[in-house]
Structure 1
């Protein structure tokens, strides 16, 4: 087995496009993050792109889109030792790894670093959408909402992933809207009270997230309502697999998503290196 470090996204795409799009559910994070870089390269840092080969065939890959951790969804277990060795040489400043639990934990262990589990999530896929009955209305966000969305994204990251690096959240929201992602808002008396994002479909797959309700507006069903709106937007864009991740330490969100039509698929985990 050997590894190839790709200098360009075009080179990586040529080696992995068919492989990643054949299983868009498992490869959801790589597909959406690389699409963002592909369509807005000026706003992103260059990605770290590695493929693993055996007998002349690609058997897996490892991706990182700085400043975020490595993505191990397509990392085959027999390649974790090689992956850890290569990653240490070419990307020593990587902060951690995320992916399906078995793969991400195997990679974290193979690095020999001390690590902490920062996030434990469950992946869900939509079966039949069942929107809840909640007071209020919905609308899709526009450029006029960028400051609000930037503040909410920063609050979401502080709460959900406190280890996450500081990023320009308002500019990220402006770029996301420009790239055609669906930002849904739930509105009460003219004021937004909850927010959910749906990614642009990739190989028929869309992922919902973040979903955020400010603390003062929680326990009214607004998160479920806005998630259903974002899901409907994704379906209207032609998505056939609508996915989302829910924090396993939050039983409320896990039950809410199941009530509006999502079924559990797999458990993921994120590990960050201790310094």
Structure 2
């Protein structure tokens, strides 16, 4: 087995994109994050490594700064080699995320002290069952950027305290320009919940984040705005609509199942102790 470190996204795409796109559910994070870089010039340079056996690509390892390595496409047989190369080419990486068995194997193989920062479950939409909730939804525009940035920061602070600083206003405008669906649920014109769905890629859309400020929780607004943005994704042609939930939050896990999402796989995120 050997590995290739790619110095450009074009080089990586030539050997790995079709492989990732053939399983867009498992590779949802890599596909959406690399699509953003592909369509938004000026994004940070990703770390891109492919693994080969007898000339055949058998896996890949991706990192889009400032986030951790993504191991969804990393075979367990390549973990030791992946860690060796990753330490050499990207020593600033803060951690690793992916399906639990793969991400935990990678974290353990580094020999670093680490903490499990987030345990999530990947869900896929079955049949959408929109809930009944007070209020109505609309798609956000650039006039809402200040609110979206504030809520994104609040979401990260609550869900992943170890995460790097949240997006700037320009980054949020970039997401809107990419065509991602940002939905707001409102009561009498006041936004009370927010959900985002990526523009479909390889037939796959991922919903997230979903955020309801604490003062507006327990009224069904989060479920309503999630159902709204899910329908938006279906209308855009998505055939696989996915989302991640925090396993430490049983309420959100039950809510998403009630509106039609079905559990697929458990993921874990590990960050190195500084």
User: Does the pair score TM above 0.5?
Assistant: yes
Give me the whole-angstrom Cα distance separating, in 1, the residues matched to 2:250 and 2:13: 38
Give me the whole-angstrom Cα distance separating, in 1, the residues matched to 2:199 and 2:79: 31
CA apart distance, 1:117: 0.2
Give me the whole-angstrom Cα distance separating, in 2, the residues matched to 1:169 and 1:240: 31
- 1:153–1:169: 8 Å Cα contact kept in structure 2? no
Specify the alignment match of 1:39 in structure 2: 39
- 2:168 aligned with 1:169: yes
CA apart distance, 1:17: 1.4
- 1:181–1:200: 8 Å Cα contact kept in structure 2? yes
Specify the alignment match of 2:256 in structure 1: 257
Give me the whole-angstrom Cα distance separating, in 2, the residues matched to 1:170 and 1:216: 24
- How many residues of Structure 1 are paired with residues of Structure 2 in the alignment? 274
Aligned pairs for 1:69-218 within 5 A: 69-218=68-217
Structure 2 residue matching 1:124: 3-state secondary structure: strand
Give me the whole-angstrom Cα distance separating, in 1, the residues matched to 2:94 and 2:194: 28
Give me the whole-angstrom Cα distance separating, in 1, the residues matched to 2:198 and 2:212: 19
Give me the whole-angstrom Cα distance separating, in 1, the residues matched to 2:102 and 2:229: 30
- 1:151–1:169: 8 Å Cα contact kept in structure 2? no
Structure 1 residue matching 2:208: 3-state secondary structure: strand
Q: Which runs of 4+ in 1 moved over 4 A?
A: none
Structure 2 residue matching 1:120: 3-state secondary structure: strand
- 2:28 aligned with 1:28: yes
- 1:3–1:53: 8 Å Cα contact kept in structure 2? yes
- 1:100–1:269: 8 Å Cα contact kept in structure 2? yes
1:118-160 Cα offsets, whole Å, 9 max, x none, are 0000000000000000010000000100000000000000000
Specify the alignment match of 1:55 in structure 2: 54
- 2:156–2:166: 8 Å Cα contact kept in structure 1? no
Structure 1 residue matching 2:16: 3-state secondary structure: helix
CA apart distance, 1:172: 1.9
Specify the alignment match of 1:3 in structure 2: 3
Structure 1 residue matching 2:153: 3-state secondary structure: helix
Give me the whole-angstrom Cα distance separating, in 1, the residues matched to 2:96 and 2:41: 23
- 1:30–1:71: 8 Å Cα contact kept in structure 2? yes
- 1:84–1:110: 8 Å Cα contact kept in structure 2? yes
CA apart distance, 1:18: 1.3
- 1:150–1:171: 8 Å Cα contact kept in structure 2? no
Give me the whole-angstrom Cα distance separating, in 1, the residues matched to 2:125 and 2:166: 30
Structure 2 residue matching 1:41: 3-state secondary structure: coil
Structure 2 residue matching 1:23: 3-state secondary structure: coil
Structure 2 residue matching 1:201: 3-state secondary structure: coil
Pairwise CA RMSD of aligned residues? 0.6
Q: Which runs of 5+ in 1 are unaligned?
A: none
Give me the whole-angstrom Cα distance separating, in 2, the residues matched to 1:144 and 1:178: 13
How high is the TM-score relative to the length of structure 2? Answer: 0.99
1:208-264 Cα offsets, whole Å, 9 max, x none, are 000000000000000000000010000000000000000000000000000000000
